[in-house]
C-alpha cells in the first residue's frame, strides 16, 4: 500500500480502534507513521496496556476498544493441544481458551486427577481436580504455601475464567480461615499447562502462553 494512502486510511480513528480491539498485536499500527500515531490520542496507553494489561479504570480509551472483554484486553494464547498424541499448534483468543479448559473439568478422569498449572510471574497457581478440588501456590520457586483451600466446582470454573482472561489482582475462592494470603496478581504474560495424573503417570493435554 502506498505510504500516503496508508496514512490516510489509518487516520480513521474508528478503524484503528476497531483493529486494536481485535488484538493487542495491532499496536504496531501506531508506529507506522507519525501521522497515524498523532491521530490516536490513546497511543501511549494502548502500547503500555499491550504489555501490562488493561486497567479497570481506563476511561474513554478503554471503552473505545471494547472494554475489558475485548480481545485486546483479554489477550491471545499460543497454544499446543495434544489430540490422540499428535500435537496441534493454534492461536486462540483468551475467552476460547478459558472455555476449552473449563470444558475439560466436565471430563475429569475416573481415576487420578486433572492438574491445571498456571505460571503467573514468580507465582505458580496449581489446581488439582479429582475426588476433591485443591488449590495450592508456590512463590518464587522455593517458598511453598502448601494447600490454600478446597473450592467447589463452580468456584474453580469461575476462577479459571477470570485468571485466563484478566490481569491484575484476583481473589482466590478461599474462606477466611484458609491459608490464603489475599489476592494473586495475574500479569499479561502467563503460562498454562493442563495434564492428567494417574498415580505416577502423566498425560499432557495442552500447554501454552498468553500474549
Helix/strand/coil for 181: coil
Closest by Cα among 68, 109, 133 to 205: 109
Give, in degrees to the nearest 5, the angle at Cα 72 between 71 and 73: 90
Dump the DSSP string for 82-109: EETTEEEEEEEEHHHHHHHHHHHHTT--
With contact defined as beta carbons under 8 Å apart, do 106 and 91 qualify? no
Other beta carbons less than 10 A from residue 87's beta carbon: 11
pTM score: 0.84
Other beta carbons less than 10 A from residue 119's beta carbon: 17
- The domain segmentation of the chain, as residue ranges, is 3-73, 76-210
Q: How much is the pLDDT for 5?
A: 37
Q: How much is the pLDDT for 1?
A: 43
* Mean pLDDT (10-residue bins), the chain, 211 residues: 46 74 77 74 89 91 93 93 82 95 84 92 92 87 68 95 95 77 87 90 92 86
Q: How much is the pLDDT for 112?
A: 84
Compute the distance between CA of residue 210 and CA of residue 75 in angstroms, rounded to an integer. Answer: 6
Amino acid at each position: 500500500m502506498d505510504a500516503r494512502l496508508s496514512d490516510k486510511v489509518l487516520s480513521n480513528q474508528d478503524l484503528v480502534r476497531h483493529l486494536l480491539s481485535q488484538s493487542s498485536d495491532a499496536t504496531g499500527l501506531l508506529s507506522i507513521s507519525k501521522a497515524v500515531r498523532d491521530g490516536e490520542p490513546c497511543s501511549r496507553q494502548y502500547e503500555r496496556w499491550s504489555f501490562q494489561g488493561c486497567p479497570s479504570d481506563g476511561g474513554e480509551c478503554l471503552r473505545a476498544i471494547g472494554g475489558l472483554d475485548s480481545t485486546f484486553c483479554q489477550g491471545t494464547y499460543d497454544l499446543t493441544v495434544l489430540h490422540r498424541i499428535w500435537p496441534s499448534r493454534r492461536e486462540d483468543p483468551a475467552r476460547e481458551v478459558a472455555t476449552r479448559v473449563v470444558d475439560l473439568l466436565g471430563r475429569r478422569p475416573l481415576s487420578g486427577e486433572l492438574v491445571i498449572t498456571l505460571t503467573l510471574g514468580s507465582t505458580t497457581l496449581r489446581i488439582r481436580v479429582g475426588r476433591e478440588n485443591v488449590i495450592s501456590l508456590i512463590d518464587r520457586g522455593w517458598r511453598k504455601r502448601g494447600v490454600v483451600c478446597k473450592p467447589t466446582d463452580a468456584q474453580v470454573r469461575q476462577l479459571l475464567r477470570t485468571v485466563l482472561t484478566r490481569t491484575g489482582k484476583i481473589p482466590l475462592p478461599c474462606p477466611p480461615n484458609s491459608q490464603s494470603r489475599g489476592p494473586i496478581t495475574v500479569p499479561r504474560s502467563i503460562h498454562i499447562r493442563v495434564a492428567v495424573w494417574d498415580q505416577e503417570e502423566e498425560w499432557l493435554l495442552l500447554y501454552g502462553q498468553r500474549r
